[in-house]
Structure 1
Amino acid sequence: SRVTTIGPNDESLKGRVTSITAGLKGYVEKPIFGWGPENYLIAWGKHFDAESGVRERFDQAHNKLVEELITKGAVGLITYLSIWVAIIWVFVRAVTRREEYEQAFVILVGAALGAFFVQNMFLFDSPVTVLQFAVLVSFFVAEEMRQHQTQLDQAAEHDRPQKSESPGFADKVTGLLASPAGGATIAVIVIVVIGVSIFYLNMKPFNAATAIVQINTPNITWEQRFGFFEESIDEFPALANYPRLLLLS
């Protein structure tokens, strides 16, 4: 089985250790903000030990804490850990506030989140796992909001503020948006946002993809291929790792 093959000579383990070592060397170069989201491949590629015997390429660290540290730096790692500290704090409060017959469910959700954290020490995020994380965290968010609303309701019973006859800030904003000028302003903002989104999230990725597929054009030189690689990366840097993987293959 897979468990019995784990050891110092395990190829998968050697690959992960080599990958993390290369990534940590890259972290030293950019310790504050890291190399940027999804740019682990760049740090790994720059410091990878070609003589290690590992042939696998790593565009992810296969360890969430290392991934956050290298791609987002100390700031990103501290922020990520702060989320978990907040989750633990809310979890403890939820367990102590609930009745005994409800505590089992809270503990079950907390255990699922704990398993998720341990899992990410050996894997990386995917759409499925991120959705799982969001669903589990939403339970504790709702729990905290429910408790906060309960406290507000209790405070309101003892001290109900008198309603002001003059319109408040929210009323003024609502009135402004309901006016013709407000409606026109909203329409302009929406059009601008849609236009910018189409340009940056559709046209530029399309142009980058169009450039990268031209590397398969027959009878072109490697200099021309590198030109297509650079054009694709420059056109949409956010998805530049895909051209880099093609370049390494």
Structure 2
Amino acid sequence: MSSTGRLQGKVAIVTGGAMGQGAGIVRAYVAEGAKVVVADVAKDEGTDLATELGDSAHFAHHDVSDQASWTALVADTDERFGPVSILANNAGILRFGSIQDMPIDEVELLFRVNQLGCWLGMQSVVPTMRAHGGGAIINSSSTEGLAGMANTAAYGATKFAIRGMTKAAAHELGKYNIRTNSVHPGMIDTPMTRVHGGDLAMEYGASKVPLRRVGTPDDIAPLYVFLGSDEATYINGAEIAIDGGVTATHGFGG
């Protein structure tokens, strides 16, 4: 991966960074000159990725739903690499279930990982970003945070919440030069999505996309680079769909 140094001097935390979309973001950040902490519960995969990328990356075992884990993560990052300037709130889980039948423990798990995890991430980096002149927070929502789809009410609720929290944070934190934006991927070929149907799910998903393919982590990472870079210094409170045109299609979410 070629580098133009667009993130030179930046320090980033990428949650859910060990695999899939997160790993793509981590690789792109390192290639563009950032120091990156790979924060994830997947210890083996995260350690392997950090080892592969050398001194510019470090793995930290991290539970996004735990406030103490966030406090330790941000403090360690500040000490290891310097003040956090980019937070990619990428960690998330996907569960399908009807409103009638979905177990409450699944609903609560979605809330804790997707919504609370995002909230705690923002809350935890604000002090260090304020103290050092600002930063960029990039929250991973979904196309299900833009429109509804059957059997994703609980998942979609967390992604709509991330969208709303992002806009509120943009107003609240902008005066500190902290920019907060949300990214809304469509169907991306990752371990998280493949577990729900494998190749057949990918083929079906591709049939619904105007570009006639599902996305890859390499399609998503450049947007995270841009939003974390100084090229995006006047972009705040935006919601950006990156979905091959799905949300431009009549009847999306039906």
Which is bigger in relative contact order (C-alpha 8 A, separation at least 6)?
A: 2
Tell me which interval the TM-score lies in, with the shorter structure as reference length. Answer: under 0.3
Give TM-score scaled by structure 1 length: 0.28
Give TM-score scaled by structure 2 length: 0.27
> Whose Rg is larger?
1
